[in-house]
Amino acid sequence: MNAPAVRYRSPSAGPGPGDTPPHVVVVGGGIAGLTAAAHLSGAAGAGGPRARVTLLESGQRLGGKLLCGEVGGVPVDLGAEAVFVRQPAAVELAREVGLGHDLEPPATMRASLWTRGTLRPMPRGHMMGIPGDLDALAASGVLSADGLARAGRDRQLPRTDVGEDITIGRYVAARMGREVVDRLVEPLLGGVYAGHADLLSLRATMPALLAVAREERSLLEGIRRMQPPAPGAPAAGERTPGVSPPPFRSIRGGLGRLPLAVARACRSAGVDIRTGAAARAMRRTDSGWRLTVESNGGEWEIEADAVVLAVPAPAAARLLAHEAGVAAAGLRDVEYADMALVTLVFDRADLSEKLPGSGFLVPQVDGHVIKASTFLSNKWRWLEQYAPGKVVVRTSVGRHGESTAMDLDDGELVAASRTELAEAAGLTAVPSDSAVTRWTTGLPQYTLGHAGRMAAVHEQVRKSGTLAVCGAAYDGVGITSCIEGAQRASEEIAASLRDRAPRR
């Protein structure tokens, strides 16, 4: 199956009379690939480029780690359930595809740590678990007296040399001691990255803190310097001076609605979306690229003037092996964590008391199966509107290098979640329904040197001209980061096609 020959014209201007627009193939139907397709086709954003776009997704559904479902008749997110909005890309995309009015802030962000035998409040003034307020840290009871004293020594210690990069665990332990790493930083990183503080790169995960660490002697002072105004939720139409709104949003009915809405906008703009179509190989041609694709109908080929790869690192490495060996090698070094999410639905009448706050995180050193729990019905008001009388609770299992999430069967994961919810939060009610969602190669690990490896990947890919990469392996594991990376990839492709367009 070959694309027609292309007569190049500036994509941002759109095709002129008699012109055939350039053909771009996007590989991957997660939020990054869909965003790239939306921008290249003009489906998102006025004045965007106008290319003919084909999107190939190897699975039978779109959305990647964003997935809506139903458990016991209740609409729930079975993947990511919140998006960071201090950068505007995700909010803008939601508005462009008609979901702007459905964005909703959390009703509460009061999270806890289940550690040292009880739920303890997450101390205010922290950043990724790194404390910036010793008084709040002491009041939380998270650390022992010795651990608290060691954290306070940060103010007297000489500056720590962080060099070009350092792991988060090594840096924080040097400044504040091991207990801060184990009981505060590790559970946060386990939630966001499903990773370990002693392996994750400061440069790749918190580049702003790396810069501050080179300037500030004290980590406490560095965290204070980086703190935004305390989160708050002013009344509708009001702004509280010095108080920022919550940095997260969801979408009524589930964040998994977002990729489906982007896909609808893409189809309306003429994007050819093909599920069950796996790109197996890619070769450069005289005019662009030829991809070998496998689907139920057999193996076929498609030609493109440009390609965007928006797939996990192992798949991208296989596709780049022939044409960009250095990039492929860098991507093969990216490891992933397997995860499982357990969703439990309860009848509200069966709960003896209201669950506290938005949920809790669990330090690995405490030896539990679950690493976190989110009280979704407390966190998102829309759940009460969609399913009155129900309470939805979610637990998560799995960190990098662990096999628990995949070794236990669904029944065992549900049983472990119920046992530990009872121990942590006193939740002894029997759920009316449950579901287990497994995410193999769930989250890429930003290990030491990751930023440099991905910079080398981008550099070689850009030299190929009409080729770009985007997604969680490169740009950040958050949804907003993936959207921003896809927008940059689209701009690079549009620019390369403009450069190749003949002068008129």
What pLDDT, in 10s, does the model give residues 324-363? 999 999 999 999 999 999 999 999 999 999 999 999 999 9
Residue 303's nearest CA partner among 52, 43, 33, 501 is 52
**DSSP conformational letter for 21:** P
Res 103 pLDDT > 60: yes
* Residue 168 Cα to chain centre, angstroms: 19
DSSP label at 154?
A: G
pLDDT, tens only, 51-66: 999 999 999 999 999 9
For 447-480, write each residue's pLDDT tens digit.
Answer: 999 999 999 999 999 998 899 999 999 989 999 9
How far separated are the first and last CA of the chain, in Å rounded? 31
- Helix, strand, or coil here: 151? helix
Percent helix, strand, coil in the chain, to 5, is 40, 25, 40
Categorize the per-residue pLDDT at 405 as very low, low, confident or very high, splitting at 50, 70 and 90: confident
Residue 233 pLDDT more than 60?
Answer: no
- Supply the pLDDT for residue 73: 94
3-class SS of residue 399: coil
Looking at residue 164, the DSSP 8-state letter turns out to be: S
Q: Say which residue, 13 or 360, is predicted with more confidence.
A: 360
Fold of 68-109+336-444: Polyamine Oxidase; Chain A, domain 2 (3.90.660)
> Across all residues in the chain, what is the average pLDDT?
91
d(CA 449, CA 447): 6
pLDDT at residue 7, as a whole number? 30
The model's pTM is 0.91
pLDDT of residue 200 exceeding 80, the answer is yes
Check residues 132 and 18 and name the one with the higher pLDDT. 132
The 3-state DSSP class for residue 479 equals: helix
Quote the pLDDT of residue 274. 98
Question: Measured on CA atoms in the order 256, 259, 261, 267, is the torsion positive or negative?
Answer: negative
Would you give the DSSP letter of residue 184? Answer: I
Q: Quickly state the pLDDT bin for 231 (edges 50, 70, 90).
A: low
pLDDT tens digits for 297-306? 899 999 999 9
**What is 191-248 written as a DSSP string?**
HHTS--TTTBBHHHH-HHHHHHHHH-S-HHHHHHHHPPSPB--PPTT---TT-BPPSE
Per residue in 237-271, pLDDT tens? 344 444 567 899 999 999 999 999 999 999 999 99
User: C-alpha dihedral over 159, 161, 167, 173, to 10 degrees?
Assistant: -30
Beta bridge partners, 273, equal 55
Assigned CATH topology for domain 11-63+256-334+447-500: FAD/NAD(P)-binding domain (3.50.50)
pLDDT number for residue 234: 44
DSSP tag of 185: I
Can you tell me the mean pLDDT for 81-99?
95
* Per-residue pLDDT, 46: 43
Quote the pLDDT of residue 502. Answer: 52
Quick one: tokens of 61?
């559904």
Cα separations in angstroms, 221 against 152, 154, 225: 11, 9, 6
| Domain extents in the chain | 11-63+256-334+447-500, 68-109+336-444, 111-226
Given this model, what pLDDT does residue 19 score? 62
- Whether 68 shows a pLDDT value over 90: the answer reads yes
Fold designation for 111-226: protoporphyrinogen ix oxidase, domain 3 (1.10.3110)
Is residue 245 left, alpha or beta, with left meaning phi > 0 and alpha meaning psi from -120 to 50? beta
Report which residue type is found at 171.
Y
HSE toward the beta carbon, residue 238, CA cutoff 13 A = 8
Give the mean model confidence (pLDDT) for residues 143-150: 97
State the DSSP H helix or E strand holding residue 187, giving kind and residue range, or none if neither: helix 186-192
